[in-house]
Structure 1
């Protein structure tokens, strides 16, 4: 059995009287790809917010590489090796594509806050940023303002920013949302390539992408995980089928 990279133990979250996350248990092994699916309002993004420190769990524990991170600030969790993307692209639209990636690399390469150091004079930083751009297929857009990229290119840039710091646990929140079929297929192959050897937990609405990428699929319904298994078994799970009753996207992949 591989080491556990990320573990959730009876995690709960309330907003007032409304219980959003209700006792979630989940183990993601090192190097494993787990895709989290579920109907709208199931609590998928809320769960990501708890893991990444944007919100604090009311109960339970979140463990990264054997150490609790429950209650840690987002930057502390990031520096322990976990990085995430968001549903809505979070880029600097008035900076170039290269500058966006370079910003994401600074801390991981040991560059701290300094008023006296010019970024253009750091060849290691420049070389690493160019390598990330090559990996995500945006080298040709290196000097383009990020806000002028197409939607699919902006999503690719966000994936690049997420992996740039060399975190070994990656959380992607609906990376193919709003894409055409061909764009989703290309994004799935990009994700497969750039997360090779890393641990991936991904929220995905596109069932074709989910079933293609996942080693295991976790199904979140009403704040609870009702199934977590290899894609073939999740596809045949009656409780999952009931949860997606009337959902054409799920029916097509089953």
Structure 2
């Protein structure tokens, strides 16, 4: 079976500086896969490469067995991959519901047409309502997204990420800046929306990582140094020395 995501000897340089240095990563279909690593390790750059926001200097990136190296973000999205960002990326002046409906239109086959009344698109409206209920924002349906509490904005962005029907979703630090209670709610939401999908996430909260991930990859200086189950990663002396801040036993 082809993996959901595969990176083979991927490199990315900015001028003379190589940020991603021969990165190899496999994310299996249907798994929740976390990527951890110290600041500056290249995690966000890796996300940008997979989603097409940056172009690899060399190497191959595959999505569900298809080479997507060099494709533009919208082309990759139409092949079933969607992502969130570290900084919340929503339409602040549109309502919560309108944000979700915008996300579902293209996946349902609707193209740009100024004469079409979106309120009459029953399938788009029903899908938006389903996602609205899934992310727990039904009571804020008509609220402008820009005035939502921070945690609700993050929940909305997760909703937008899944609304188009992507079966591979990427979440970039989904619980950053949240309180403990908000983090617990976000983890429950992520667990729900990733059911039946492939999830790859970058996250600094180790409680979230070890509580959610089926497998964890550790990125250090642009290379994966370990990729294994949470239990094996926790016990790996190289990981503890490079990332968890503990001196590896002799």
- TM norm. shorter chain > 0.5: yes
2-side partners of 1:79 and 1:233: how far apart?
Answer: 35
Is structure 2 residue 176 aligned with structure 1 residue 177?
yes
Runs of 4 or more consecutive aligned structure 1 residues displaced over 4 Å after TM superposition: none
1:72-221 matches, cutoff 5 A: 72-221=71-220
**Per-residue deviation, residues 119-157 of structure 1 (Å, max 9, x unmatched):** 111121111101000000011100000001000000000
Q: Is the 8 A contact 2:2 2:65 kept in 1?
A: no
2-side partners of 1:120 and 1:34: how far apart?
Answer: 37
**Post-superposition offset of 1:246:** 3.8
Is structure 2 residue 25 aligned with structure 1 residue 5?
no
Q: How many pairs were matched up?
A: 247
Equivalent residue for 2:63? Answer: 64
**Per-residue deviation, residues 78-126 of structure 1 (Å, max 9, x unmatched):** 0000000000000000000000000011100111110110111112111
CA RMSD of aligned residues (A): 1.2
3-state secondary structure, aligned to 2:131: helix
3-state secondary structure, aligned to 2:126: helix
**Post-superposition offset of 1:245:** 4.8
1-side partners of 2:181 and 2:21: how far apart?
Answer: 36
Structure 1: which 5+ residue stretches go unaligned? none
**Per-residue deviation, residues 50-73 of structure 1 (Å, max 9, x unmatched):** 000000000100001111000000
**Post-superposition offset of 1:244:** 2.4
**Per-residue deviation, residues 169-213 of structure 1 (Å, max 9, x unmatched):** 101000000001111111011001011010011000100000000
Q: TM-score, normalised by structure 2?
A: 0.97
Q: TM-score, normalised by structure 1?
A: 0.95
Equivalent residue for 2:47? Answer: 48
2-side partners of 1:246 and 1:4: how far apart?
Answer: 32
2-side partners of 1:34 and 1:51: how far apart?
Answer: 14
1-side partners of 2:233 and 2:225: how far apart?
Answer: 10
2-side partners of 1:166 and 1:108: how far apart?
Answer: 7
